[in-house]
Amino acid sequence: MSSDPSTFQSPEHTQVNQDTHTQIADNSYPPATADHPRSDAPDPTTSAPVPKLSQPHGATTSTVHDASQGRQSTTAAAGASELASLKVKITAGLREIPDFPEPGILFVDIMPLFANIDLHKSLIRALELKVVESFKNKVDVIVGLDARGFLFGPSLALAIGASFVPMRKQGKLPGDTVKSTPFTKEYGASKPDVFEMQGDAVKIGDKVVIVDDIIATGGTAVAAGELVRKLGGILLGYVFLMEIEGLKGKGRLEAPSHILLGKEDGSSTERP
């Protein structure tokens, strides 16, 4: 091609109209109109970009992710607020009985929670929120300890979509059973107890949470945890309604433990 401007030739397929208002290609003559569009023109009904409804205009992947995180934070905050309110209601429903089961013991009676429908529902909902808050893994099995763990364990298991397995005192379960190591109860029983579970109750690899009404010395909970592991279960941890803090039972446990009505939420249930 010559560098002389006078010899420059236009591209082969384009003709420039001297009228400054139009520039049309040879293969589009006569000019396209609304009634007679060009045959090779893109169909606006099919070629227009489809907006992404899940991502607002101008948002980036990062901002959408941040929004999702914000929703999760809001949900978590709402759950924490609901749980705090439920715990106040549940605590008010407890009853204290002095000198039981021995002189000098102030026994905290949880039975009124089950006699009242609203309190019963509140307890199960609070436990559900506590489990979801405390354990990030899906719980496969709730193991309730003999005997007050049986009162709320099955309902909690249903609420979180898990199965329920009772852990009973020796000689109470039919069929093949597996025994725990002997343990001593909180109030100085004359002889050690032994827990049993049916041999097929917990499968190898099941993620297990153990529940009971209270932890004192921790002997019962330790034996229960060892038995779950003996069957091949993965012990995620424990959930107790209350704790006798002075006996320091939580310090003996080899898995995380959570107290529904205890110091974790700024209150205390220690009763000498």
Catalytic residue among 125, 168, 186, 226: 186
DSSP-based three-state secondary structure for 26: helix
Query: Is-contact 237 258, C-beta < 8 A?
Result: yes
> Would you call 12 a catalytic residue per the annotation?
no
Query: Is-contact 255 222, C-beta < 8 A?
Result: no
Chain centre distance of CA 267: 23
Question: Going by C-beta distance under 8 Å and a sequence separation of 6 or more, which residues neighbour residue 164?
Answer: 141, 142, 143, 144, 153, 154, 157, 158
User: Using CA atoms, how far apart are residues 117 and 123, in angstroms rounded to an integer?
Assistant: 10
- List, in sequence order, the alpha helices (H) in the chain: 44-47, 61-92, 111-115, 117-134, 149-160, 219-230
Catalytic residue among 125, 148, 168, 229: 148
Q: How far is CA 209 from CA 218, 227, 247, in A?
A: 15, 13, 22
Of 218, 255, 253, 217, residue with least CA distance to 235: 255
> Would you call 71 a catalytic residue per the annotation?
no
**Catalytic residues, which ones?**
148, 186
